[in-house]
Amino acid sequence: MAVFITDICINCAACIDECPVEAIVDEDDNPTGEDCYYVYADKCVECVGYHDVPACAEACPTEGCIVWADCVEGVECRDDISEEARANRTPVIED
């Protein structure tokens, strides 16, 4: 995975329109059945080649909602994010 949307998601849709590769779906299409938005790990490229930071996290009004997660083999991930940050699911944007 690349980024992950936690269960503190308020379903505001700010992130969906910002994703350049359409990797985010709303709660109705969440394959886990959870009532929050979902990032398809095999599609998310952490905005590499599009933005300096993941656009979904910049657009999200809920602090700590979008966090770093493990990369999927064969999918572009930022090389400046530590394995520790990914393992600990550190927020992408920290105030």
Query: Looking at residue 92, which CATH number applies to its domain?
Result: 3.30.70.20
Question: Domain range for residue 56?
Answer: 1-95
Kind plus residue range of the DSSP H or E element containing 25: strand 24-25
- Return the top range by mean pLDDT from 39-43, 69-73, 75-79: 39-43
Number of domains making up the chain: 1
More confident residue, 19 or 72: 19
| Helical H segments across 1-95, by residue range | 14-18, 55-59, 83-87
pLDDT tens by residue, 14-43: 999 999 999 999 999 999 999 999 999 999
